[in-house]
Amino acid sequence: MWVLGVLCDVAAYVFQFLALRRGSVLLVQSILVTGLLFAIPLGAAFCHRRPSRSDMIGTVGVVSGLGLFLATAAPSEGLHQPGPTGYALLVALTAVVVGGLLVLAPRHPGKRRAMHLGAACGVTFGFNAALTKASGELLERNGLGLVFSWQVWLLAGSAAFGFLLVQSAFQAGPLESSLPVLTISDPLASAAVGLIFLQEHISTGPVAVTLEVVGFSVMVIGVFLLARSPLINEAAPAGAAPETGDDSHHLQHRSVGGPDE
């Protein structure tokens, strides 16, 4: 089951790569939040039960909040990759934020460690999205010469680190602790990368900003409701480690969604 999840991650990344070649980082990474919507019916099939009222409210919240945010923000593409100074600042800022989250994460397994690792993973995935978009542009320009670009090798190393982080976050504590933080921190980090380093644009009028905040807030509420659903948290493969009630023993191996979830 774990290997199957990893293979799904690889397939998902291929589609993400194709999407980032055509759309802005902010747009693509925000849409990835909808992965939770597909996790609910899959979890229902595994658990042999119907979605609850909370699941339905969370689904409506994610769909309506994301729709309002994207329709109002209307994100547009900017640069395919930042310049040398932009890259240096982006790498440094990402290292500081991720490093800070890892330092602040408690050493022992539990909810707080899972949340810190989930946030660090989301920030890493936002950084990876920028490198993925740059790699798509380099592929169009240089073809197979792409393998000689430092961006691709930095992406490979960062992606491997992100994979380690997401597995560690899922093992550190209950999925309901790490998954919501990971799901929200990814588009937030991607928005910062897109707006600051790639010069992407969104609507910034007073009404537009208000609606964007409302839409994103509703989406966040929906994400937390869905991430706490028993249909996701109890859909563990047969033979997984039993739950003891103590976060330090909640070490079920999971692979959820694509590489940016």
Q: Domain ranges in the chain? A: 9-75+82-235
In order of 58, 72, 73, the CA distances from 120 in angstroms are 24, 28, 26
Q: What is the pLDDT along the chain (261 residues), one digit of tens a residue?
A: 889 888 988 999 999 999 998 889 999 999 999 988 888 888 888 878 888 899 999 999 999 999 999 999 999 888 888 989 999 999 999 999 999 999 999 988 889 999 999 999 999 999 999 999 998 888 888 777 778 889 899 999 999 999 999 999 989 988 888 889 999 999 999 999 999 999 999 999 999 999 999 999 999 999 999 988 888 776 544 434 434 334 333 333 334 444 444
Q: How much is the pLDDT for 43?
A: 82
pLDDT of residue 92: 96
Give the pLDDT confidence score for residue 235 in this predicted structure: 56
Residue 91 pLDDT: 95
- Supply the pLDDT for residue 21: 87
pLDDT, position 253: 37
